[in-house]
Structure 1
Amino acid sequence: MSGGDIAGAMTGKLDPAVLSEFVLARTGAPSSNLLAGPAFGEDAAAVRVGEQTLVVSTDPISLAAERIGQLAVDVASNDVAASGGRPEFLLSTLLLPDADTAVLDTITDQLDTEADRLGLSIAGGHTEVVAGLDRPLCSLTCFGVADRYVSTGGATPGDRILLTKGAGIEATGVIATDFRDRLDLPDDDVERATAAFDDLSVLPEAAALAPVATAMHDPTEGGVLEGLIEMALAAEATLDVDREAIHVRPETRAVCAAVGVDPLRVLGSGALLATVAEDETASALDALDEAGVDATVIGRVEAGDAGVDIGGERYTEPIRDDMYALWD
């Protein structure tokens, strides 16, 4: 793919072949202290620091205008937690299209409030006005120590697949705020959908599952379906998924139907996908219950070619998030 092709490509994650050629193959000098580096589907790196394992992840937010600061904290810390880490520190890079202090005030207040709620410290970063931007861009890097690093691609045949909370939680809040004018719904439904922003962190469930999970992944772009595809491709296995077992909250169904998107193919932060050995499944569900987190078994890992079997269809390539069409 040429540079022109990349520039004209659709919004969202790069094609795996492009990512492999131009990003994953160009990672600077090797280090014996890098325990887990850049790879398709892996959202965090693991670095040896003395006797400890440091988990680090970075992620940008630009399209969800109403809660960009809150989302940035949740998305970055979720990646560390889903890799077995205990998120503790954040670095914040905030790029603004102009010097509007009201916008700066809103975003930094959201960053501060959400970081404080989760017990995270913003240790530094960078903030400036950048010519050419048409909206703010907030990119956070999160750091945390892990007792046991858990990859996206660690699923093994026989494992059960777990999903916490449900599909499309992040999209529910974003649709209810950024696209409120497109919703022909009662105010109570919109308020319940907006409240999804308060349920985006997966720190409790990740902590509960980290000791036993063979793999964990928080679905973001492309939602639960894309998260499953990334897990399958990273593990080089088949994920056999029962679509009907995937929980979708009523308010999620309502707002997704109102704007014509599939709840399984939209921004999915707030849910955690995990695989656990069959004989660990009951204890894993008990641990989640004790943590106050709803979860269901939605499928099984099978030996075979990499892909996801769900609802009579098979997916072997990444998909595009349905939400992007709303911003186009």
Structure 2
Amino acid sequence: MSKLSPADLDRYIFSRTGAANDGLLVGAGYGEDAAAIATEDGTMVVSSDPISLAAERIGTLGVAIASNDVAACGGMPEWLVSTILLPEADVELLDEITAQLDAEANRLGITIVGGHTETVAGLSRPLLSLTCMGPADRYVPTSGAEPGDEVILTKGAGIEGTAVLATDFTTDLDAAGVDTETVGRAVGYFDDISVLPESVVLSPVATAMHDPTEGGVLNGLVELACASDVHIDVSEGDVPVRPETNTLCAAMGVDPLRILGSGALLATVPRDEVASTLEALDAENIDSTVVATVEEATDEDDVGVVYEGGHYTDGVEDDMYDLWD
């Protein structure tokens, strides 16, 4: 599994969006987490996301990931539409998934307003597609980063990926010698997947925000840089990685910066706002780190991210995909 290139997205997706509507403030675009729609009461943020690979906590992750896209644009997630596709009519599996959806939606204050459920021949695992909506006082795009801004990352790289490794690959981790205490702490990362708390702090000051998901923090930075037509230099040592993430990634042979990254939020903030923003995040007990500076791209070929000697302009494939093969 891999992401489509920006060129293919432009050609086959972003150029085919149906009828024009004056109420659409921000529509489909490379790296954008959600759309913005004008309403009588302000701005409505809407985003859709599928999930299929994290079998053990698919409902929990589905709600968190869909709502994160709204939060990453400055919205307050309030409503959720859930489509559940099952390989077969397995009531026990359905019970497990909907219980997870209900519990996580309750925890985040989100109402599930409808959706669709059916069985689909040919599926080997459950597939969810979730649409989340909520109002925003100030919509923050992925494409708003300005030269001179500092790039803030909350929590660390690979939060979601670490939790999924701990639940979907316990046998492999045990065989690799990872102790049960470390795996248990990693399972607790599911409680850190939502970025709503940090988005509340960051959205009033950020020029751009982005929720790194597939392809991890590295891919999130690439999408932010390319959407904003800027250049970002980042070093591996500048990106925070939790000890459990390092341990589990080493055991499974994956890069913490290239695995499922939900749970972290990337935000670009004007330099004179950085110190107070970091203090505000710390006051909410949210870890945050400045990982890079936004630079002006010298030309079209300079747009993107330079990381450990490589220049990235297209989507970064997630290291975890091959683990499910």
TM-score (norm 2): 0.96
The alignment status of 1:135 with 2:128, answered yes or no, reads no
- The corresponding residue for 2:5 is 15
SS at 2:204 equivalent? coil
Letter in 1 for 2:171: D
Q: 2: distance between equivalents of 1:316 and 1:37?
A: 21
Q: Which moved more, 1:52-61 or 1:241-250?
A: 241-250
Aligned letter for 1:267? L
Secondary structure (helix, strand or coil) at the match of 2:82 reads: strand
**Residues 5 and 314, structure 2, Cα contact 8 Å, conserved in 1:** no
Within the alignment, does 1:187 sit opposite 2:180 as a pair? Answer: yes
The Cα of 1:249 is off from its aligned counterpart by 0.5
- CA offsets, 1:62-94, max 9 Å, x none? 011000000000000000000010111101111
Q: CA deviation at 1:289?
A: 1.3
CA deviations 1:104-127 (Å, max 9, x no partner) are 011000000000001111011111
- C-alpha RMSD of the superposition: 0.9
Residue 292 of structure 1 corresponds to 285
Aligned to 1:228: 221
Letter in 2 for 1:60: P
Task: Give 1:53's match in structure 2, choosing from 23, 29, 43.
Answer: 43
Q: What amino acid is aligned across from residue 229 of structure 1 in structure 2?
A: V
Q: Percent identity?
A: 61
Q: Deviations over 1:18-76 (max 9, x none)?
A: 21111111100000100000001012000001141000001000011000000000000
Structure 2 CA distance, aligned partners of 1:71 and 1:117? 13
Gaps of 5+ in 1: 1-10
Distance 1:264 1:247 in 2: 10
- Work out the number of aligned pairs and report it: 318
Matches within 5 A, 1:106-185: 106-183=96-173, 184-185=177-178
Q: 2-side partners of 1:309 and 1:14: how far apart?
A: 20
> Are 2:37 and 1:40 aligned?
no
Rounded Cα–Cα distance in structure 2 between residues aligned with 1:241 and 1:25 = 32
Residue 207 of structure 2 is aligned with which of 200, 204, 214? 214
- Give the Cα separation in 2 of the matches to 1:260 and 1:319: 17
Give, in angstroms, the shift of residue 12 of structure 1. 2.9
Counterparts of 1:64-103 in structure 2 under 5 Å? 64-103=54-93
* Aligned equivalent of 1:322: 319
What residue is the counterpart of 2:194 in the other structure? 201
After superposing on structure 2, the runs of 4+ consecutive aligned residues of structure 1 that deviate more than 6 Å are: none
Aligned counterparts, 1:236-315, within 5 A: 236-304=229-297, 305-315=302-312
Q: Which amino acid aligns with 1:198?
A: D
The answer to whether the Cα contact below 8 Å between 1:159 and 1:300 also exists between their aligned partners in 2 is yes
Give SS of 1:98's match.
coil
Contact 1:169 1:271 in 2 (8 A): yes
Q: TM-score, normalized by length of structure 1?
A: 0.95
SS of alignment partner, residue 87 of structure 1: coil
